[in-house]
Amino acid sequence: MSEQTVDLIRKDVQSAKNEAKKNIQLPVREVEDMLALVDSLQQQTKELGDTAVRQGQEMIRLQGLVNKHLQEVGYLCEQLEERDRKIAWLTNELGE
Q: What is the DSSP string of 33-81?
A: HHHHHHHHHHHHHHHHHHHHHHHHHHHHHHHHHHHHHHHHHHHHHHHHH
**Per-residue pLDDT tens listing for the chain (96 residues):** 555 554 555 566 677 677 666 666 666 677 788 889 999 999 999 999 999 999 999 999 999 999 999 999 999 999 999 999 999 999 988 876
Q: Distances in Å between the alpha carbon of 10 and those of 13, 17, 23?
A: 5, 11, 20
Domains in the chain: boundaries: 65-96
Give this prediction's pTM: 0.50
Q: What is the pLDDT of residue 35?
A: 87
Q: What is the pLDDT of residue 6?
A: 47
